[in-house]
Amino acid sequence: MVSKIYDIETEKIYLKGRRKVQVEARDLLCYCAVRELGISCTDLAKQLGMTQPGVGYAVNRGEIK
C-alpha cells in the first residue's frame, strides 16, 4: 500500500537512506504499523534495522503527513 502511494519499490522502503520519497514512505509505514496495526516501536525497529527512537520520530512524522 505505502509503496503504491509513493510509487516506490517496496524493497527501497527498507533500505537505509535519506532520499525524500524513501523517508516519507518509511514514515507512513511506521505510522500505520504502530498506530493502526499496534506493532510496538521496538519490534518495528528490529524489523527495519532502525533504532526505537528513530521509529518513534518516524511515527510522528508519518502522522503529520
What pLDDT score does 7 carry? 92
Domain count, the chain: 1
Question: What tens-digit pLDDT sequence spans the chain (65 residues)?
Answer: 899 999 999 999 988 888 999 999 999 999 999 999 999 999 999 999 999 999 999 999 999 86
Instruction: Report the CATH number at residue 23.
Output: 1.10.1750.10
Range of the structural domain that residue 49 is part of: 2-64
pTM of the model: 0.90
What distances in angstroms separate CA 4 from CA 15, 27, 42, 44, one per listed residue? Answer: 17, 14, 26, 21
